[in-house]
Amino acid sequence: MKLYQISDGSVLKRKPSPFPLEKDIQALVEQNTLSLFDLEFVCTELSIEGRRFDTLCFDRKTNAFVIIEYKKSRNYSVIDQGYTYLSILLNNKADFVLEFNETKGEQLKRSDVDWSQTRILFISPEFTEFQKTSVNFQNIPFELWEIQRFEGELMSLNKIVTSSEADINTTAPKGSKSSIVKKVSSEIIVYDENYHLYKSKSRPDAIVEMYHTLKSRITELGEVECHFGSQTIDFIKDTVFAGLIIHDGGMGIVLNVKKGELQDYKNLTEDVSEKGHWGKGDYQLWIHGDDELDYAMELIRQSYNTQ
């Protein structure tokens, strides 16, 4: 990756300034887990069953634990380590909850955690093509992130995007590795776009097409990330500004605008500030056809501009 800095109309190429040690990457990430990944730091160097977990975080959006591992070595298998660590976590849930409560001073219960959304982030200056290919499955609970430092106190962080539609369970090797993969896969669900679009076998094509149209218009707002949760598809600027809930008859849109601050001149939204609901925000709108997209975008744009 090439990185340039703009100065007085000119571009200056910044040379790489590699991290000397794996610990340097770990220290930087642990100080900034909230800014980098929207994760709450819990602890470092947690040891369970003779294994050391580099960084333990908690995702408040999903109520799930997230493990972060740092690697400078190119000679390791992210698949083997990833599934081993997830298996240990799922077999020792009480230990992770206890660590969280002692560190954060809270009273989290094991039943409060959504164990199905547990995941691992691997962070390295560079992954080999073999390592990238090994996690190229649609339902694998791992993420690969390449981190680089440059002169001038600059840094880049790039997520390796999965493109395959293959199922890890259909390609896992036989024997003990296969049993670990199957056990972890039976408890952990990787939510993605297809999960939301096709979990209902009777979903009309028109709803799917309407979703894609709306998603395209939302992402055109700029600097938008998409997160797939168990119930909503969230669109994020600095924080979630809109969440989509897809049903056979239409889509629900949860708007992250505080009560009393949304300009809804058609009065089509519902105040859900005092109701239990999916998504983040005080307003919810239901749409059922393409003719409602323009007004929906007006409301979504308001939420986007408040973040």
Q: Where are the domains of the chain?
A: 3-187, 193-306
CATH architecture, domain 193-306: Alpha-Beta Complex (3.90)
Token couple for 100: 């969280």
From 3.30.499.10, 3.40.1350.10, 1.10.287.130, 3.90.1150.10, which CATH number describes the 3-187 domain?
3.40.1350.10
Q: Give the predicted TM-score (pTM) of the model.
A: 0.77
Give residues with Cβ within 8 angstroms of 222, minimum separation 6: none
Please state, as a whole number, how many other Cβ atoms lie within 10 Å of the Cβ of residue 272.
18
Instruction: Kindly tell me the sign of the dihedral angle through the C-alpha atoms of 133, 77, 32, 156.
Output: negative
Instruction: Give the span between the Cα atoms of 300 and 302, in whole angstroms.
Output: 5
Kindly give the confidence (pLDDT) of every residue in the chain, 307 residues in length, as a single tens digit, with 9 standing for 90 and above: 788 888 888 988 889 898 988 899 999 999 999 999 989 999 999 999 989 999 999 998 889 999 999 987 666 778 888 889 999 999 999 999 999 999 999 999 999 999 999 999 999 999 888 888 877 777 788 899 999 999 988 999 999 887 766 666 655 555 555 677 777 877 888 888 888 998 888 888 999 999 999 999 999 998 898 888 888 999 998 889 999 999 999 999 999 999 889 999 999 999 888 887 888 889 999 999 999 999 999 999 999 998 7
Order of all β-strands in the sheet with 250-255 = 225-228, 233-236, 240-247, 250-255, 283-287, 270-271
* Cα dist from 39 to 59, 61, 66, 123, 207, whole Å: 5, 9, 8, 15, 32
